[in-house]
Structure 1
Amino acid sequence: MDQEIQNKFEEQNKKLEEIFRSVEKTRKYFLWTLILSLVFFFLPLVGIVVLLPKIFDAYTGAGLGL
């Protein structure tokens, strides 16, 4: 009886380790998804902030020459 319980504990421990590895992979996947989503959201915003003044200068400068 004691050996059966010990075997069950070992089986459960193996399954828990597999679950832990799977959860860690999923956590890393979500972390990188979040990081990439933020990068692809904020990089265009930074680009707009940098390029908009140049675009406005080009339009206003072209109008002054007339």
Structure 2
Amino acid sequence: MNRLTVDPIACRAHGLCADVLPELITVDEWGYPIVRGGKVPEPLLAEARRAAAACPALALRLRKAE
């Protein structure tokens, strides 16, 4: 299983991650991402990779869950 995490210090609230992966990411009133659950279901893995790659601040990370 893979997990999405956000580095809150690096994040600049561009919101691209929520545009690419609305099934798992919403944004708060200031535009910062909120990752629901963190664990990425297998069917959404490709979208999660795209969301992490689309982050201009490199704040969204996809990692193997332990």
Task: Indicate whether the TM-score tops 0.5.
Answer: no
TM-score, structure 2 as length reference: 0.23
- Which structure is higher in strand share? 2
Higher relative contact order (CA 8 A, sep 6+): 2
TM-score, structure 1 as length reference: 0.23
